[in-house]
Structure 1
Amino acid sequence: MRDLGIYFGTFAPCHVGHFEQIVRAKRENRHALVIVSGYEGDRGNTYAMSLDNRVKAMRQLLRNDKNVSVIKLDETEIPRYPHGWGPWLEMLAEKISAGIAALDFEVDEMTYYVGEEEYIEPLQNFFDGRWTEIVTHITMVDRKILGISGTSIREEPILNWDYVTRPFRRFFVQNVLVLGAPGTGKTSLVHDLARRYSTSYSTEYAKEYRISQHVAADELDVKDFHAVGIGQFENNKKHIHSPGTRKVFFADTDVMMTKIYMKMHAVGDEFHQLKSVFDYFIHLQNWSLILVLPPKEDVTDDGYSVTMHGMILDEIKLQGLEDITHVLEGESYRNQYQEAHTLVDEILKDGKDN
């Protein structure tokens, strides 16, 4: 057994092929360094897989594994490959030196696991010269063993879902938001769709908050709305990142809905005090599809539901989300469910399970 295995890449995302190489590196050596590299605006950003987010996901994947350390290598300030090869090697050496310093044993042999043949000679020459006291080995790995690549996953993430390691799946989840005034059946629709696709869903945080704080709906003040809005955002985020979420996630309301409730019930300048805060969190949300249930024709609430429905559509327009929004037109719940199911199938396309 050698001392230190080193495996580097962009990991956008980390798939099972990458993981097999990480397992190999830590089994053939006393310790392994997994170096996640990238730069601001790299190929991972399309799916919110920034370098920092990839590092966090990799550390989550390898948490509690004492034989592996995850290190970030930020290439933002150096030229892109191949022009930045020299500076990149220097940065890599610095990261490896820091990794070695954190170990409780001497490193006499280290092995680099690479997937590109063109890396072998430059790495061998550079590190033979950098650490003359350490024997350097370069091992070529077979990237075709599982027939999957990061490019294939980014192009068809749902179809290749099972190849993506769990902490990285959240970057490809298709998030579906269901909105509607009280009594429209949105909670039932969320539950049934989640059961249909064997995935997770979030509940309306405002109900939990009112129960825990012993506050009636008409007693909510600006501090309560702030707590409800942030709580709803975190509630949705928690379920998107949940191991129980598979390909698609359904949200029973979001921060937009809290903003609408606040606009309807807040007094004086209270709405304007929180508007920018809510807009910030609304901007952070990422929806693939928004389903809106219209008010029931026979509802008797002095126009409350109709007013709220109009405000929902206005807010969706304000946020520039009209292109992904569908108002369900079915006359019965069954028809609305079938319409929603068809729309969800469309965003999942060939990768749907059922």
Structure 2
Amino acid sequence: MNNRLIIIGVVILAALYVFFSSIYVVNEREQAIVMRFGQITDVRTEPGIYFKIPTDFVDTVQVIEDRLLRYDIANMRVQVSGNAFYQVDAFLTYRISDPRLFRERATGQLSVAEARIGASLDAALRQVYGLREFSAALSDQRGQMMAETRDLIRPDLANLGIDVVDVRILRTDLDADVSATTFERMRAERLAEAALLRARGQEQAQSLRAIADRQAVEIVAAATRDAEIIRGTGDAERNRLFAAAYGQDQEFFEFYRSMESYRNALVNTGTTMILSPDSEFFRYFGSNGELPAANTNLAPPIQPTAAPITQQPTDEPALDGLGIEETTVPSITLEDGSELTPTQGTEIPVPAEEPAAAPAQ
């Protein structure tokens, strides 16, 4: 009885082993290759439950990925046209499209396939970057570069049964040496531009300063000229009035001038004068306070008229009537097209007007 149970148990275990070793499951993310004594007999790409010869001595099954796979490459140093270098990060997405060819060419191992993928991606990126100038990878040519890299890799990896879906460039940075050189070049360009703007500003400042100095000299000269003309005209008018007054009443004029002399000479200045009482200076001191008799034979009054202020005529262009030539104000044009013009802060004084005529007496 016990032997029979043991035999039944062994038979059941053997049947279970044969059953489970004769089936295999392929899910939706996998593909399966069935091999008999190392030779490929079948390829299963659809998900489901399949049967094979029991045990793994005759038929063996190798599972192959059916998902999109990714291969990354980082800190790759590539050279562009002009002997400059970039640091590049990129990745590639692929799918195993032919499991039979993948088994025959890459033994069905992803490690073997990725070694080939890495070499192909490296060579393709170097070729694409090497055909372009330094700034191409940072411009709108980036998409075209990725498409060219993908097209270069596809034929090579198709021999492994791999279909390249896409190639993407994640990062393109300047190499450390190139970055330092580029920074120094940009710094030198900015310094040169700043020096140019500073020189142009100094040139404009000197021009404006020269114009302002010339205008100041001309304004002062014009004002001095007008002042001298007015002063001379005033002196002439004063002398004319004195002469008219003297002509009307000589005695009163002499009395008035004597009083003015007393007031100006005898002020409280501490000055001591010793003069003879009979001197002409004290002529009116001996009158006992009596005023001289009024002159009844007066000359007719003379109406004072102001002497006109005359200026020398000139044919030169003038600014505000002061003989200052108009000057084109310099300006500075910046890189953005805007212009800087100096402010006009010099105010020209108004020319002196002719004095009003004195009222008639």
Give the alignment's TM-score, normalised by structure 1.
0.19
Please identify the structure whose Cα radius of gyration is greater: 2
Give the alignment's TM-score, normalised by structure 2.
0.18
Higher relative contact order, chain-length normalized (CA < 8 Å, sep 6+): 1
